[in-house]
Structure 1
Amino acid sequence: MGFARKVWRLLVGIKDGLALVFLLLFFFALFSILSARPNPGVVREGALLLDLDGTIVEEVAPIDPISALLASSLPTREYASRDLVRAIDAAAGDERIEALALDLSGFLGGGAVHMDEVASALERFKTAGKPIYTYAVAYTDDSLLLAAHASEAWVDPLGGAVVTGPGGHSLYFGGLLDRYNVTANVFRVGTYKSAVEPYTESGMSEPARENASQLVSTLWQEWRANLRRARPDANIELVTNDVEGWLAGSENDLARAALAAGLVDRIGTRIEWGEAIATVVGEDTWTKDPGTFASTDFDPWIADLDAGLDLGDGGKIGVVTIAGTISDGEAGPGSAGAERIAGLLDDALDDDLKALVVRVDSPGGTVTGSETIRRAILRHKDAGIPVVVSMGNYAASGGYWVATPAERIFAEPETLTGSIGVFGVFPSFEGLLADYGVTSDGVRATPLAGQPDLLGGLTPEVRSLLQSGVEGSYARFLSLVAESRGITVARADELGQGRVWDGGAARQLGLVDQFGDLDAAIAWAARRADLGDDFEVDYLGDDADPYGSLFARMMASDAETGAARGNDVFAAFARAQQGQLAQAVGELEGLMQVEGVQARCLECAMMPGAAVRGERPAQGSMLRWLRTLLAD
Structure 2
Amino acid sequence: MKKFLKYTLAVIVGSVVSITILTLGFFIFVGILAASTSQEVTVKDNSLLVLKLDGPIVERLADDPFAQIFAEISGEAAPMGLNQILSSIKKAERDDRIKGIYLESGLVMGGHATIEEIRNALLDFKKTGKFIISFAPVYSQKSYYLASAADRIYLPPAGMLNFQGISSQHTYFKNTLEKLGVDVQVFRHGKFKSAIEPFTRTNMSDEARLQTETYVNSMWDHITQKISEVRNIAPDRLNEIANQVPMFQTDDFLLKSGLLDDLKYKDQVLNELKDSTKTDYTKDLNSIDVRQYAKAYVSDGKKGIAKNKLAIIYAEGAIDSGQDGINSEDLSRTIREARRDSSIKAVVLRINSPGGSGMGSEIIWREVKLTADTKPLIVSMSDLAASGGYYIACAADTIVAHPNTLTGSIGVFGTIPNLEGLLDKVGISTDVVNTNKFSDMPALTRPFRPEEKEIMQAYIEHFYDFFLQRCADGRQTTKAAIDEIGQGRVWSGENALEIDLVDVLGGIDTAVDIAAEKAGIADNYRIVELPEVLPPFEQLIKDLTGNASAYMKSVFFGNSEYLKYMQTIENLKESYPIQARVPYEISIN
Deviation digits for residues 429-484 of structure 1 (CA, Å, limit 9, x no counterpart): 11233345544334322222233221233333433333233222211101111111
> Contact 1:361 / 1:391 at 8 angstroms: preserved in 2?
yes
Residue 439 (structure 2) aligns with: 449
Q: 1:68: how far off?
A: 7.3
State the alpha-carbon separation in 2 of the partners of residues 355 and 447 from structure 1.
51
SS state of the match for residue 504, structure 1?
helix
SS state of the match for residue 122, structure 1?
helix
> Contact 2:136 / 2:156 at 8 angstroms: preserved in 1?
yes
Residue 187 (structure 2) aligns with: 187
Q: 1:134: how far off?
A: 1.0
Residue 606 (structure 1) aligns with: 587
Residue 268 (structure 1) aligns with: 264
* 2:278 corresponds to 1:279: no
Deviation digits for residues 44-75 of structure 1 (CA, Å, limit 9, x no counterpart): 22211112112333233676959975993165
SS state of the match for residue 157, structure 2?
strand
SS state of the match for residue 134, structure 1?
strand
State the alpha-carbon separation in 2 of the partners of residues 92 and 67 from structure 1.
27
Q: 1:549: how far off?
A: 11
Residue 325 (structure 1) aligns with: 318
Residue 497 (structure 1) aligns with: 487
Tell me: CA distance 1:28–1:594, structure 2 relative to 1, closer, same or farther (3 Å).
closer
Residue 123 (structure 1) aligns with: 123
Q: 1:339: how far off?
A: 2.2
Q: Output the amino acid matched with 1:149.
A: A
Identify the match of residue 236 of structure 1 among 231, 235, 238.
Answer: 238
Q: 1:532: how far off?
A: 4.1
Q: What runs of 5+ residues in structure 1 fail to find an aligned partner? A: 1-14, 552-574, 609-632
Identify the match of residue 315 of structure 1 among 292, 299, 308.
Answer: 308
Q: 1:550: how far off?
A: 11
State the alpha-carbon separation in 1 of the partners of residues 442 and 80 from structure 2.
43
> Contact 1:413 / 1:503 at 8 angstroms: preserved in 2?
yes
> Contact 2:317 / 2:326 at 8 angstroms: preserved in 1?
yes
Q: 1:515: how far off?
A: 2.4
> Contact 1:422 / 1:498 at 8 angstroms: preserved in 2?
yes
Q: Output the amino acid matched with 2:254.
A: A
SS state of the match for residue 285, structure 2?
coil
Q: 1:119: how far off?
A: 1.4
> Contact 1:40 / 1:299 at 8 angstroms: preserved in 2?
no
Residue 507 (structure 1) aligns with: 497
Deviation digits for residues 285-306 of structure 1 (CA, Å, limit 9, x no counterpart): 9x97xxx522111122110147
> Contact 2:321 / 2:571 at 8 angstroms: preserved in 1?
no
Residue 80 (structure 2) aligns with: 79
State the alpha-carbon separation in 1 of the partners of residues 385 and 247 from structure 2.
39
Q: Output the amino acid matched with 1:241.
A: N
State the alpha-carbon separation in 1 of the partners of residues 533 and 73 from structure 2.
26
SS state of the match for residue 330, structure 2?
helix
Q: 1:146: how far off?
A: 2.2
State the alpha-carbon separation in 1 of the partners of residues 571 and 382 from structure 2.
24
> Contact 2:172 / 2:202 at 8 angstroms: preserved in 1?
yes
Residue 375 (structure 2) aligns with: 385
> Contact 2:385 / 2:406 at 8 angstroms: preserved in 1?
yes
Residue 364 (structure 1) aligns with: 355
Residue 565 (structure 1) aligns with: none
> Contact 2:321 / 2:575 at 8 angstroms: preserved in 1?
no
SS state of the match for residue 54, structure 1?
coil
Residue 49 (structure 1) aligns with: 50
State the alpha-carbon separation in 2 of the partners of residues 66 and 128 from structure 1.
34
Residue 253 (structure 2) aligns with: 257
User: What are the equivalent positions in structure 2 for 1:159-558 lying under 5 Å apart?
Assistant: 159-233=159-233, 236-243=238-245, 252-253=249-250, 255-281=251-277, 283=279, 292-305=284-297, 312-327=305-320, 331-332=323-324, 335-352=325-342, 353-382=344-373, 384-543=374-533
State the alpha-carbon separation in 1 of the partners of residues 461 and 228 from structure 2.
46
Tell me: CA distance 1:462–1:227, structure 2 relative to 1, closer, same or farther (3 Å).
same
> Contact 1:63 / 1:548 at 8 angstroms: preserved in 2?
no
> Contact 1:199 / 1:591 at 8 angstroms: preserved in 2?
no
Deviation digits for residues 323-344 of structure 1 (CA, Å, limit 9, x no counterpart): 2212167x45xx3222221222
State the alpha-carbon separation in 1 of the partners of residues 34 and 69 from structure 2.
22
Tell me: CA distance 1:430–1:22, structure 2 relative to 1, closer, same or farther (3 Å).
closer
State the alpha-carbon separation in 2 of the partners of residues 309 and 472 from structure 1.
54
Q: Output the amino acid matched with 2:197.
A: E
Q: Output the amino acid matched with 2:527.
A: V
> Contact 1:393 / 1:415 at 8 angstroms: preserved in 2?
yes
* Structure 1 stretch displaced more, 306-315 or 211-220: 306-315
Residue 94 (structure 2) aligns with: 93
Q: 1:218: how far off?
A: 0.3
- Total equivalences in the alignment: 554
Give the CA RMSD over aligned residues: 3.5
Tell me: CA distance 1:542–1:67, structure 2 relative to 1, closer, same or farther (3 Å).
same
Q: Output the amino acid matched with 2:586.
A: A
Q: 1:413: how far off?
A: 2.2
SS state of the match for residue 303, structure 1?
coil
SS state of the match for residue 178, structure 2?
helix
State the alpha-carbon separation in 2 of the partners of residues 550 and 401 from structure 1.
33
Tell me: CA distance 1:31–1:52, structure 2 relative to 1, closer, same or farther (3 Å).
closer
User: What are the equivalent positions in structure 2 for 1:7-46 lying under 5 Å apart?
Assistant: 29-30=28-29, 32-33=31-32, 36-38=35-37, 39=39, 41-45=41-45, 46=47
* Structure 1 stretch displaced more, 214-223 or 168-177: 168-177
Residue 137 (structure 2) aligns with: 137
Residue 570 (structure 1) aligns with: none
Tell me: CA distance 1:201–1:550, structure 2 relative to 1, closer, same or farther (3 Å).
closer
Residue 564 (structure 1) aligns with: none
State the alpha-carbon separation in 2 of the partners of residues 31 and 395 from structure 1.
37
State the alpha-carbon separation in 2 of the partners of residues 317 and 602 from structure 1.
33
Tell me: CA distance 1:513–1:150, structure 2 relative to 1, closer, same or farther (3 Å).
closer
> Contact 2:105 / 2:136 at 8 angstroms: preserved in 1?
yes
Sequence identity (%)? 31
State the alpha-carbon separation in 1 of the partners of residues 120 and 21 from structure 2.
55
Q: What runs of 5+ residues in structure 2 fail to find an aligned partner? A: 1-13, 542-557
Q: 1:354: how far off?
A: 1.6
Residue 567 (structure 2) aligns with: 586
> Contact 1:42 / 1:296 at 8 angstroms: preserved in 2?
no
State the alpha-carbon separation in 2 of the partners of residues 64 and 447 from structure 1.
55
> Contact 2:339 / 2:375 at 8 angstroms: preserved in 1?
no
TM-score by length of 2: 0.84
Tell me: CA distance 1:426–1:92, structure 2 relative to 1, closer, same or farther (3 Å).
same
TM-score by length of 1: 0.79
State the alpha-carbon separation in 1 of the partners of residues 252 and 243 from structure 2.
18
Q: Output the amino acid matched with 1:295.
A: S
Tell me: CA distance 1:307–1:26, structure 2 relative to 1, closer, same or farther (3 Å).
farther
* Structure 1 stretch displaced more, 529-538 or 412-421: 529-538
Tell me: CA distance 1:139–1:322, structure 2 relative to 1, closer, same or farther (3 Å).
same
> Contact 1:284 / 1:295 at 8 angstroms: preserved in 2?
no
Deviation digits for residues 146-180 of structure 1 (CA, Å, limit 9, x no counterpart): 22222221112231211132223211112222233
